[in-house]
Amino acid sequence: MSVLSDTKSTTVKKSLSASWPIIVGIVLIALTMRSPLTSVGPLIGSIRDSLGLSNTAAGLLTTLPLLAFAVLSPFIPILARRFGAERALLYALVLLIASIVIRSLSTTASLFIGTALLGLAIAVCNVLIPSLVKRNFASQVGLMTGVYSVSMNLCGAIASGVSVPLARDLGFGWNGALVIWGALALLAALCWLPQARANHISAVSTAGSASARRSLWRSPLAWMVTIFMGMQSLLFYVLIAWLPELLTSRGLSEDSAGWMLSLFQIAALPVSFIMPIVAGRMKNQRLLVIITASLLIAAIAGLYWSGNALLPLWTILLGIGGGSAFSLAMIFLSLRTKNAHDAASLSGMSQSIGYSLAATGPILFGLLHDVTASWSLPLLLLLVISALLFISGWGASKNQTV
């Protein structure tokens, strides 16, 4: 047994060592997939006041990328078959750089146009990265899912924390604080260029008929994964958009609210790495779903009923629960499929429908706050969403494949 274990460990190490350029590229792409979005939340008040936006319109800054995810995601496997996954990702990174620049041009039109294009670029990365992991690291899916999940969360947390200091203390303004993330996307594109030039096979196999792809949309398991994706995305993007505003309404400064948003994301880092590894070794993930939903419900209930003294505790629990939910959503795309083609198809479906659901969150949350002049009803909505996340997660964690 020891000899077999040592042999397997050596094989895994050799496999990872031989694939390090792809690993580095995936990590760099992951770093660009949240920072352009999470940098907006702490600045949303400044952007709103600068351009004269309402809270509902400001909520569109988070919703537009989600709508872009929803619209484009089903077609991304087709793009991957046409151009190859590596080239599709490179084109997405180039679009991401351009959209970050457009978004920062200090006009209302450029703000929303750039935000929408940014969503289209990130959508390609969202769908194809799980498929690349399934194709290139079939025996280390949990580990690699943890690697790119923690990379996304880490850079997202940093972006939230430094946005206000960049904008105010260093004099960049809100637009300068947003455009700086284009440099990271440029670095990712340059590092990914050799992968695109190598003309690798598509991450999405051309195998599979149109009827097989359609059958995915009739699979109850696929729908459970999709709804789970939608609920965790809705929670995350609502909190990214409105948690700083909620905290400033309770008396925290903009700086403190921004760093609390960073705390929310930093708390997710350890669990984002560990959860996929643990989940990959379990026959089903129902215990993990119970723990995840319980943490989220406890944290949201704490925000609703308690005062400011325990705000850091509720923020940390939100981060742990949110990081766990995100990691489970990502690992479900691999664990509930048999090959890279199915992983990309399920990823496209779950992110299309899932982000359509998630897109309603920031606008509805802002609208409820505008109408009620309170955060009570919006927080009750998050409790309902957490309950739906538990129900769908229970079904998605079943030990089956689509």
Nearest Cα to 72, choosing from 26, 116, 137, 22? Answer: 116
Does residue 46 lie within any of the structural domains? yes
Torsions phi, psi of 84, nearest 5?
A: 95, 140
The answer on pLDDT for 107 being more than 90 is: no
What is the structure's pLDDT at 14? 46
Q: How many CB atoms lie within 10 A of CB 372?
A: 11
User: What dihedral angle (degrees, nearest 10) is formed by the CA atoms of 312, 315, 317, 321?
Assistant: -170
Percent of the chain whose predicted confidence (pLDDT) is above 70: 91
Q: Could you give the CA distance from residue 354 to residue 357 in angstroms, rounded to a whole number?
A: 5
Does residue 150 lie within any of the structural domains? yes
Q: Can you give the residue range of the structural domain that contains 179? A: 20-396
CA 80, 102, 97: angle at the middle one, nearest 5?
40
Number of domains in the chain: 1
Task: Render the burial of 278-314: b for 16+ CB within 10 Å, e for the rest.
Answer: bbbeeeebbebbebbbebbbebbbbbeeeeeeebeeb
CATH of the domain at 361: 1.20.1250.20
Does residue 10 lie within any of the structural domains? no
Q: Are 351 and 73 in contact (CB under 8 A)?
A: yes
Q: Could you give the CA distance from residue 65 to residue 104 in angstroms, rounded to a whole number?
A: 15
Does residue 248 lie within any of the structural domains? yes
Nearest Cα to 272, choosing from 213, 215, 232, 217? Answer: 232
Does residue 8 lie within any of the structural domains? no
Q: Could you give the CA distance from residue 173 to residue 379 in angstroms, rounded to a whole number?
A: 31
Does residue 190 lie within any of the structural domains? yes
Whole-angstrom CA distances from 122 to 43, 116, 307 are: 20, 10, 37
Mean pLDDT of the chain: 83
Condensed to tens digits (0 to 9), the pLDDT of residues 65-76 reads 888 888 888 888
Condensed to tens digits (0 to 9), the pLDDT of residues 195-234 reads 888 755 544 444 444 444 557 778 889 999 999 998 998 8
Nearest Cα to 285, choosing from 223, 224, 218? Answer: 224
Q: The whole model's pTM is what?
A: 0.78
Q: Are 8 and 208 in contact (CB under 8 A)?
A: no
Does residue 372 lie within any of the structural domains? yes
The answer on pLDDT for 9 being more than 50 is: no
SS3 category, 229: helix
Condensed to tens digits (0 to 9), the pLDDT of residues 274-299 reads 998 898 888 889 999 999 999 999 99
